[in-house]
Amino acid sequence: MTTVVAETRTARSTVAPDLFDQLVERITADRRVGKDHAEQVMDQALLFLHACAANPEAALVPSRAIDPGWHAFLLHTRAYAQFCRTYAGGFIHHQPEDPHGGPIGLTEQAATHLRTLDAIERTGYVVVPELWTLDSAKCSKCSASGKDCDENTETQLPS
């Protein structure tokens, strides 16, 4: 009998190991979480960025759990810009929520969440479902297209 072992692809392999370690250290220090959790957050943030790169017009939204990983990477501007050029062909912009915007309806929130989940699952990387729950949805959006958000067509989730 032949046993087939499926290779698990994690997004962490798309950055240099020393950079990944630096990003994990930033998350553990800033968020006061353990290293294992910070590694999952950073891997999933990279996964999210791959989904943004593959869906530049989709206005995907990270979960509250994942957003700190994106923020940690943004602080490493040169490495972040190079990652964006390599995987998205250009910069993936972080568009924070409008602090003056009102909450959206549950239907819109669920639609944005489902759109994001669909995009991240199509990347082929391992998804950690507990870090992508609807109740942890965050408002910051990616914009790989370089366009600014259109308030009438893109969803803002309440913080």
- Does residue 24 lie within any of the structural domains? yes
Q: And the tokens for 52?
A: 């943004």
> Residue 102: its pLDDT value, please?
59
7 domain residue, yes or no: no
58-98: pLDDT as tens digits: 889 899 899 999 999 999 999 999 999 999 999 999 987 66
Domain membership of residue 29 as a residue range = 14-143
DSSP-assigned letters across all residues of 59-118: ----BTTTHHHHHHHHTSHHHHHHHHHHHHSS--EEE---TTPPPPPHHHHHHHHHHHHH
> Up-side HSE of residue 117: CA atoms within 13 Å toward CB?
15
Q: Residue 90 in contact with residue 111, Cβ under 8 Å?
A: no
The domain total for the chain is: 1
pLDDT top residue among 35 and 98: 35
pLDDT band at 142 (very low <50, low <70, confident <90, very high): low
Asked if the structure places residue 21 within a domain, the reply is yes
Between the CA of residue 12 and those of 42, 79, 154, what are the distances in Å? 7, 14, 29
Tell me whether residue 22 is in a domain. yes
> Is residue 157 included in any domain, yes or no?
no
